[in-house]
Amino acid sequence: MNNLNTILQANKAIAYFAIMAFILLFVGLNQSWALALGIINMSLISAIMALGVNIQWGYAGLFNVGIMGFAALGGVSVVLIAQQPVTEAIDVGGMKMLIALIFGAVTIAAGILLNRRGVNQWLTTLIVVIGYLITRHYFSEASDLIEKVDPAITGYLGGFGLPVAFSWVVGGFAAAIAAWLIGKITLGLRTDYLAIATLGISEIILYVIKNEDWFVRGLKNVYGLPRPVPYEVDMQKSEWLQNIVAWIHKSELQLLSQSEQIVRLGDYVRESAVVFVKLCYSGLFISILVAFIVLSNLALNSPWGRKVRAIRDNEVAASAMGKDIKRQHLQIFVLGSAIVGVAGALLVTYDGIFIPTAYQPLRFTFLIWVMVILGGSGNNMGSVLGAFIIWFIWIQSGPMGLWFVDILSNTMQEGSASLEFIEDRVHYLRLVFMGAILLLIMRFSPGGLLPEKNKEL
Amino acid sequence: MSDSIDIINAFALLTNFVILPALSYGSQLALGALAVTLVYSILRFSNFAQGDSMAFGTMLVILISGFMISKGWTISGVPTALLAIPMALIGMAIYLLLIDRLIYKHYRRINAKQNIVGITASIGVMFVTGGIVRFILGASAQRFGDGERFIFSVREFKAFTGLEQGIALKTSQFLTVTIAILLVAFLFYFLQKTKTGKAMRAYSDNKELALLSGIDPDKVVQITWLLVALFTTIAGTLYGLDKGFAPQQYHLLLLPIFASVIVGGIGSPIGAIAGAFLVAFSEILLTYAYKKFLIYLLPLSMHPSSLVQLIGTEYKYAISFVILVIVLLIKPTGLFKGKEIV
């Protein structure tokens, strides 16, 4: 027993991942492979997001409560890059929108410049207000025009029609720019200012996405985003997949009659087409995740990484050594947010639709936080492990809740009022459950499952 | 040219749609901001659970007042919610003290980095509390005010003054401002004059010195939570009486509340109140559509065709954020010098 313990201790990470793999294998064998792969893919995306947050929180102690907003920026860039442009809308209102945006940019730039030059504050304010009014005038006109173009199908400007892979990079950049602005303002001040500011910016990003229909269709969602992998329908027709499936199930199919064989084979092919597409995604996500992990581990063990950790562990000492703390924090904050943005773009690519209402602080910000803290803040592999565990619990807690209600319903009278009530709201208990997990880990195992190894420099 | 009656009408309009709503909204924010300030001063962390705690307190009020209405324990003309507050306060105090005992106390004992750990823990508490509230009351909006809705209505005001534009004073507005003034007066009296209040201030100013002079830290913390329960429950209830109860709305109140606290200067009670009114007035002044107001004041040729609304109502939370950003850029310590900024 003791021996087993030591082995477990030594290979904790391997053991945990093995257990997780076993559970997913169990799901695949017992329920379906499509479901298991779905969980794996979402876990991988969450792991990338958690990695970004871990870089901010684990490497530098920066508190990002706006993960949702950065992920949404990634999602927006998928729409803006990969969708085909709506030429009609661009003809009608594109020019005016461009003028409005240029005016807006000029106003902001003028405001900043005049303020720096020390020009009279009232004059500056006046110029900014006038600039704002002109911008708003053109803007509302342009957005009205654009939103009137076939509102049931388009009603927005569309995107650039570029390959979707390009949008992942753009998503990272968009998130990085937002992070830079926030960081520039709040870093160097108290830690909670950053937290509050990120919370604010993420809500505002969501408000803009939901309300500006001309931008990404607002609450009307964007459907049919292009995919980086083949479609299931095409896969079903592909000969080689049919051959492989027929070969795998050879022994079983031989026992059946000709007509039964065709029906059964059709079922198998449909199933494996779904699995194949999911596998393609898994491959994609794994390679991106591995690339990020390798890069960040290399960075962490470089002189740069040592500097970062030195600052985290003792700001005063690091500052005395001549390290520019604010600059360093800004760098890390931007880097981490960019990774979250990439993950946000991947998520929307995987879903194939962009739904603004899907961005809930619980699902994004909070869940990712629990992943990072459960896994072990500061440890990249921990974040990945945390992502798998928490996503699995999150997905299974729905059915588990219903199962719980089922048991209750056996003891209670059929159709009783309180039962319906519980059925209706049982999913809110997820909030309580996840909050409790976070609090329990923080209280009893602050290092998480896989604590950071080289805590000491 | 507009004559004097038009000017009076214009200001009646403004009073009805801007000044009264902003005063009551500002008072509600101020009470919430004071709760955040109290936690910050004594426990040294920004309480992210404030919005959801307000929802929790309001939930207790809704449940208790619902029970009271079903038993017929009401006083005509007075919102039953108000009568339910004392009971709800007890529940809220127990809840907050329990959370402190189970969660925050541990971090005080091990002398953790209070601010960071406190924020993380309070975010956990935020979700647990929000989940409980949504589980019990559901996530949809509801109204729970009963009794007289108006002290005087637009129609009564018009009949009384003969003006074209009326001013209505909602019961909830009147109650909000009155109760807020009483509570703030109580808080300042308590902090300035009573022994416990002085102990709290000493603890806030210099913890080590306060401990040396024999102040019991546990007692200070408990009193703080009791005060927080008081302010949180009442702020939530007043906000709900005014605008209805919706958990998500309460959750998002966090943003204007934090903006108020930071604008005023973290840790400064007066600053929190001033900040709350600044945020409330900016929010309502910027989202109000001035069309009717300008029609009264401007000659016919200059009448505006658009709504003359500076910012769409859907962006009202963005205003708190922009105020926050401006203050951080220009004067990070806030208007009234608060605690250290680093």
Tens-place pLDDT, residues B189-214: 999 999 999 999 998 888 888 888 88
Phi, psi of A354 (to 5 degrees): -115, 110
Q: Which of residues 39-68 of B touch A (CB under 8 A)?
A: 45-46, 48
Q: Inform me whether the pLDDT recorded for A271 exceeds 90.
A: no
- CB-CB contact of A194 with A63 (8 Å): yes
Per-residue model confidence (pLDDT) at position A171:
94
Please identify which residue in the block is written with the tokens 């909050």.
Answer: A435
Model confidence over A302-350: pLDDT tens digits?
A: 888 888 888 888 888 888 888 888 888 999 999 999 999 999 999 999 9
Contact call for B131 and A432, based on CB within 8 A: yes
The answer to whether residue A208 scores a pLDDT higher than 70 is yes
Distance from CA of B149 to the nearest CA of A (A): 31
So what's the pLDDT on residue A244?
A: 82
- Kindly list the residues from chain A whose CB atom is less than 8 angstroms away from the CB atom of residue B317: 200, 203-204, 207
The amino acid occupying position A38 is: G
Of B109, B23, B47, the C-alpha closest to B266 is B47
Spell out which residues of chain A touch residue B116, defining contact as CB-CB under 8 Å: 61, 63, 191
Joined together, the tokens standing for residue B142 give: 């509801």
Q: Mark yes or no for CB contact B317/A203 under 8 Å.
A: yes
Q: What is the DSSP letter of B79?
A: -
B330 touching A, CB under 8 A?
no
Residue of A nearest to B311 (CA): A136
State yes or no: pLDDT of A4 exceeds 70: no
User: Are the beta carbons of A444 and A438 closer than 8 angstroms?
Assistant: no
Among A118-127, A251-260, A363-372, B320-329, name the most confident range.
A363-372
For residue A132, pLDDT over 90 is answered with no
* Contact between B58 and B82 (Cβ < 8 Å): no
Cα–Cα separations (whole angstroms), residue B236 to B25, B151, B254: 11, 21, 12
C-alpha distance from B153 to closest chain A C-alpha (Å): 34
Spell out a b/e string for A215-227, using b for 16 or more CB atoms within 10 Å of the CB, else e: bbbbebebeebbe
Contact call for B138 and A436, based on CB within 8 A: no
Q: Cβ of B189 under 8 Å from any chain A Cβ?
A: no
Would an 8 Å CB–CB cutoff place A204 in contact with chain B? yes
Is residue B289 classed as helix, strand or coil in its secondary structure?
A: strand
Q: Does A223 touch chain B (CB under 8 A)?
A: no
Name which of B116, B134, B332 is nearest A63 (Cβ-Cβ). B116
Residue B122, classed as helix, strand or coil, is: helix
Per-residue pLDDT, B224 = 94
* Average pLDDT of every residue of chain A: 85
A329 touches chain B (CB under 8 A): no
User: Nearest-CA neighbor of A217 among A161, A159, A164, A172?
Assistant: A159
Is the ipTM here above 0.90?
no
Q: How far apart are CA B146 and CA B69, in angstroms?
A: 10
Does B321 contact A200 at a Cβ distance shorter than 8 Å?
A: yes
Residues 264-303 of B with CB under 8 A from A: 266
> How far B229 CA sits from the closest chain A CA (Å)?
21
Q: Which two tokens stand for residue A287?
A: 């390679």
Report pLDDT for B329: 80
Phi, psi of B167 (to 5 degrees): -120, 130
Chain A residues with CB under 8 Å of B106 CB are 443
Q: Which two tokens stand for residue A139?
A: 């803007």
Residue B121 with chain A: CB contacts under 8 Å: 439, 442
pLDDT at A261 over 50: yes
Chain B residue numbers with beta carbons less than 8 Å from the beta carbon of A58 are none
Neighbouring-strand partners of residue A222: A354
Q: Which of A126-130, A428-432, B73-77, B248-252 has the lowest mean pLDDT?
A: B73-77
pLDDT above 70 coverage of chain A, percent: 94
Among A342, A285, A359, smallest CA distance to A52 is for A342
Output the pLDDT for position B339: 55
Asked if residue A204 has pLDDT above 80, the reply is yes
pLDDT score of A3: 64
Note the pLDDT tens digit of each residue in A220-245.
Answer: 888 888 888 888 878 777 778 888 88
**Nearest-CB residue to A435 (from B106, B127, B136):** B127
The low-confidence residues of chain B, meaning pLDDT below 70, are: 1-2, 114, 337-342
- Between chains, do A192 and B119 touch, taking CB under 8 Å as contact? yes
Whole-number pLDDT of residue A407: 77
Per-residue CA distances from B107 to A191, A370, B52, B201 (Å): 18, 19, 22, 21
- What was the pLDDT predicted at B114? 67
What confidence score (pLDDT) does residue A6 get? 61
In Å, the largest CA–CA distance within chain A is 90
Is any Cβ of chain A less than 8 angstroms from the Cβ of B154? no
Which amino acid, one-letter code, is at A419?
L
Instruction: Find the mean pLDDT for residues A133-146.
Output: 84
Give the model's pLDDT for residue B342.
Answer: 38
Stretch 152-191 of chain A: residues touching chain B, C-beta under 8 Å: 185-186, 188-191
Chain A closest-CA separation from residue B136 CA (Å): 8
How far the first Cα of chain A sits from its last, in Å, is: 33
Closest CA to B206 of B44, B21, B336, B91: B44
Check CB contact of A364 with chain B, cutoff 8 Å. Answer: no
Sign of CA pseudo-dihedral B43, B48, B54, B56: negative
Contact of B157 with chain A, judged by CB distance below 8 Å, is answered with no
CB contact burial B4-34 (16+ within 10 A = b; e otherwise): eebeebbbbbbbbbbebbbbbbbbbbbbbbb
Q: Mutation test of the interface with chain A: which of B50, B52, B123, choosing the one with the most A Cβ atoms within 10 A?
A: B123
Instruction: Specify the range with the lowest mean pLDDT, choosing from A86-100, A412-426, B116-130.
Output: A412-426
Give the model's confidence band at A413: pLDDT under 50 very low, under 70 low, under 90 confident, else very high: low
pLDDT (tens digit per residue) in A7-37: 665 678 888 888 899 998 988 888 888 889 9
pLDDT tier at A203, thresholds 50, 70, 90: confident
Query: How many interchain CB pairs under 8 A, A with B?
Result: 123
Chain B, residues 228-267, CB within 8 A of chain A, namely 252, 254-255, 258, 262, 266
Given CB atoms, is A98 within the 8 Å cutoff of chain B? no
Distance from B104 to chain A by nearest Cα, in Å? 9
Instruction: Let me know: does A175 contact A186? Beta carbons within 8 Å.
Output: no
Put simply, the answer to whether B128 touches A431 (Cβ < 8 Å) is: yes
What CA–CA distance (Å, rounded) separates B295 from B304?
7
